[in-house]
Amino acid sequence: MLERLDQLEADAVAALRSADDAASLEQFRIAYLGSKGQLKAAMAWLKDASKEERPKLGAGLNALKNQLQEQYDARKASVGGGGLAATGPLLDITEPGMPPRLGRSHVITQVIDELIDVFARMGFEVAEGPELEDEHHNFIALNIPEEHPARDPLDNFYLDPTHLLRTQTSTVQIRVMESQDPPIRVIVPGRVYRPDTHDATHSSMFHQLEGLYVDRRVSMVDLKTTLIQFAHAMFGPEAEVRLRPSYFPFTEPSAELDIKMQIKGEWSWVELGGCGMVNPNVFKAVGYDPEQWTGFAFGMGIERIAMRRYGIGDIRWLFENDVRFLRQF
């Protein structure tokens, strides 16, 4: 039996040496190392071997199997491609690869960048402020009295009795005026929070763009001109906008800025935000002399601008993170 083992080894080594390509290597593997190969068949010799030969024969078969496997693996690596011919064509490294899909800015980020660019051309700089605010900056300094409905705890996200998530980016105009003297011309893009019921045009977290211009002899004409120039720059010269008289504690007089947009296939007027001349009480709260300085302020919903800009019919689509939707922008 041991002589048969020596002969099997000699035949296998010779066959491996003659295998010089992937196809012949695969034939060797099947003939000697496969589940129906000669090494597997040689295990049957153990039952016919004598008691003295059996341990040597078993050890020899295992050693031969390991030896041939190592030599086969080394041979396969040196030839290149190895047994791939049996499972499919070799990889063609000269074929052009598929470029990875690149990420892109979210549509809201794109719109914010556009807004910054539009207002920068009109001389506005970008200002930022905290999203967690105190009542002084969110209400008191903005001339919002304690009994005003906007201060109802049910209409705000309070974290403690005096701190809440800001409901408007108007808080930053107070911080800007507290820290610098006029003239001031800033815009403030950022997130705001209100416990609104979610529907096609409302969300409990959304983005707002605040604008503030303070100087001598600023008038309502300057405000209207700025907003019309913004609308035409963002939506084209044919954009329909209107200002409606309104009321806000922090501006006087006040107005609503509306723009016509398509919602679920139908065109209708949608409020973009509020605006007006800065209330003298707001100037007094930050130490400005209202007899010397005048100014205007406005706040617009960025999601609604994005909806009008790109024909998006439902604000909820902006936050569902469906890549099929997001890749369109």
Residues 56, 117 contacting (CB under 8 angstroms):
no
pTM comes to 0.67
**Confidence class of residue 1 from pLDDT cuts 50, 70 and 90?**
low
| The pLDDT of residue 171 is above 80 | yes
Sheet holding 132-134, edge to edge: 132-134, 163-165, 158-160
Among 212-216, 290-294, 304-308, which is the least confidently predicted range?
Answer: 304-308
List, by residue range, all CATH 3.30.930.10 domains of the chain.
107-326
**Alpha carbon of 13 to those of 29, 63, 286: distances in Å?**
12, 13, 94
The neighbour count for residue 190, using CB atoms within 10 Å, is 20
Can you give the pLDDT at residue 264? 67
Can you give the pLDDT at residue 90? 66
The rounded mean pLDDT for the chain is: 87
Residues 135, 280 contacting (CB under 8 angstroms):
no
Q: Which CATH architecture has domain 107-326?
A: 2-Layer Sandwich (3.30)
Q: How far is CA 27 from the centre of its chain?
A: 52
| The pLDDT of residue 80 is above 80 | no
| The pLDDT of residue 262 is above 80 | no
Q: For 293-325, what is each residue's pLDDT tens digit? A: 999 999 999 998 898 888 888 899 999 888 888
Can you give the pLDDT at residue 181? 95
Residues 279, 307 contacting (CB under 8 angstroms):
no
Nearest to 272 by CA among 236, 230, 233: 230
Nearest to 274 by CA among 181, 144, 179: 144
| The pLDDT of residue 87 is above 60 | no
